[in-house]
Chain A
């Protein structure tokens, strides 16, 4: 134990500001939750469950049923997750197992970093001017209405945006698998593929799940790129190629023009749900990753 000393003013101010800064972060989070809740309250009280179970969204008649946006969000995010999985998993395996060091590893890392660094709005812009015409050609070729924009296009862009995030987590958890386990399998004559499929991936399973969950959380809240290519239709999407809207994109489109109090409130209610869902996903995901880090030392 240190002997008790008379603390100087400077010492006291310094320690107090450390605690205050940390407290401020916690306070901001709490306040954010509270603010969203109070501002969404009028809409929660007025619309109750109808808010998520009906699908007519018409600000002019003050009808607010957000079912189409909830479905749009789930559809784009799940589709993006589905598309991204083979790629993010491959990159994770490549960087975490095949090439932990070396030139090729650096090249792939640089690629992932660049994909992660491109701003959302540029993904959307590129999607709108380059990807949408490609999709349109594809749709004409297949013989479905050539919207170009729509849920599928948004999911493609989203997949591209979440791959770097999922791959970074996947690489870390795969690289964390203890060498003794792998060496054990190799010494029994297993090939590298057999080691990967029977030892590495099962051991890293929970971490990979957490990475997928966290990138799903990313996809749910992603706004600008989706807003630009999803087509902004308030109707219930009829197919994955139809235009739609997500919870985030409808906020981006309508919030600054909403004048009616219940309209503003229902948009904030959407923001509240986004906040709560992503918060839960993040807490669970980070908790799983932390647990695997501890168990693998």
Chain B
């Protein structure tokens, strides 16, 4: 027999459950709106010319964002070249020395770096590289993005390697393999998938960043693959064109947003596919 009080408690319980689902599900609305508007305004802009051509001067139709795509790829390569080795090595150090004082300091530094606003990292890269060299450059942008990638790579490397059974390492050492070869040829390859996941997530994180590039890579209306000169990037182009009053340029911005979103989402899907279970 249910008393009235119990029914009332059941009702409250169900209402609470419904409320939680409702508030969670409301978030689909803005997400759907963002994706809808980007596809609606951006998809029809995408074409072979859009992907390969350079921006046309004001008033001429056509043209594309080939310079920004090439620039974004250049920045990703530069930042990866810097961040991947340092990130993996730091991750190996942290997974091997779990309790040391130095490990603790590195952990705090990695947390701080991850929390540092991207605009502050841009300013630091400006002061360190742009100012002494006297000009903006793709290289300085690559350094800024590398700083943003590092925490992601370090954390995933550390987590992955910590999960590898110790017996594997002991077996290799027992066979007489020196420590460095054990790590480089047994442990790191075993954790390859996990490390790769971190690298891809790092790339996904930085490929949409524009704040650290404002004062470093700076932007460039022409195609450039020289890391000593300024370079355009998709997020920078979106920022500049979105805030411009010209409809042609705004269409470029929608197309670039569409492209960038597709790129980042495919990277995230890829990490899901290769992530070790």
Instruction: Tell whether, in the assembled complex, residue A255 and residue B214 are in contact, meaning their CB atoms are under 8 Å apart.
Output: yes
User: B48-56, B189-197, B221-229, B253-261: which lies at the A interface?
Assistant: B253-261
**Which 8 pairs show the lowest CB-CB distances between chains A and B?**
A221-B117, A119-B208, A282-B115, A14-B180, A90-B23, A21-B89, A191-B13, A193-B16
Of the four ranges (under 10, 10 to 19, 20 to 34, 35 or more), the interface on chain A belongs to 35 or more
A interface SS class? helix
Instruction: Tell whether, in the assembled complex, residue B94 and residue A124 are in contact, meaning their CB atoms are under 8 Å apart.
Output: no
Counting CB contacts under 8 A, is A294 at the interface?
no
Instruction: Tell whether, in the assembled complex, residue B117 and residue A275 are in contact, meaning their CB atoms are under 8 Å apart.
Output: yes
CA distance A57 to B147 in the complex (A): 31
Chain B's closest residue to A2 (CB) is B173
CA distance A292 to B210 in the complex (A): 35
Instruction: Tell whether, in the assembled complex, residue A28 and residue B89 are in contact, meaning their CB atoms are under 8 Å apart.
Output: no
Interface string of B109-137 (1 = CB under 8 A from A): 11111111111110110111000000000
Instruction: Tell whether, in the assembled complex, residue B264 and residue A279 are in contact, meaning their CB atoms are under 8 Å apart.
Output: no
**Residues A232-255 near B (CB distance < 8 A):** 248, 251-252, 255
Contact (A256, B89) CB under 8 Å given A22-B102, A279-B112: no
User: A41-49, A126-134, A139-147, A177-185: which lies at the B interface?
Assistant: A126-134
**Residues B206-255 near A (CB distance < 8 A):** 207-211, 214-215, 218, 235, 238-239, 242-243, 250, 253
CA distance A97 to B221 in the complex (A): 51
Q: How many A-B residue pairs have CB under 8 A?
A: 241
A182–chain B nearest beta-carbon distance, Å? 14
Q: Which residues of B contact A278 (CB under 8 A)?
A: 115-117, 120
Contact of A121 among B120, B127, B238 (CB under 8 A): B238
Contact (A87, B264) CB under 8 Å given A193-B16, A248-B119: no
Given A18-B92, A267-B123, A275-B120, 15 additional A-B pairs, CB 8 A: A15-B180, A21-B85, A22-B94, A26-B105, A29-B113, A36-B127, A87-B26, A119-B208, A121-B208, A128-B243, A191-B13, A194-B13, A220-B117, A224-B210, A255-B126
Chain A's closest residue to B118 (CB) is A223
Q: Which residues of A contact B164 (CB under 8 A)?
A: none
Residues of A within 8 A of B (CB): 8, 10-11, 13-15, 17-22, 24-26, 28-29, 31-32, 35-36, 39, 86-87, 89-91, 93-94, 98, 108, 111-115, 117-126, 128-130, 160, 163, 191-194, 196, 214, 217-218, 220-224, 228, 248, 251-252, 255-256, 267-268, 271, 274-275, 278-279, 281-283, 286
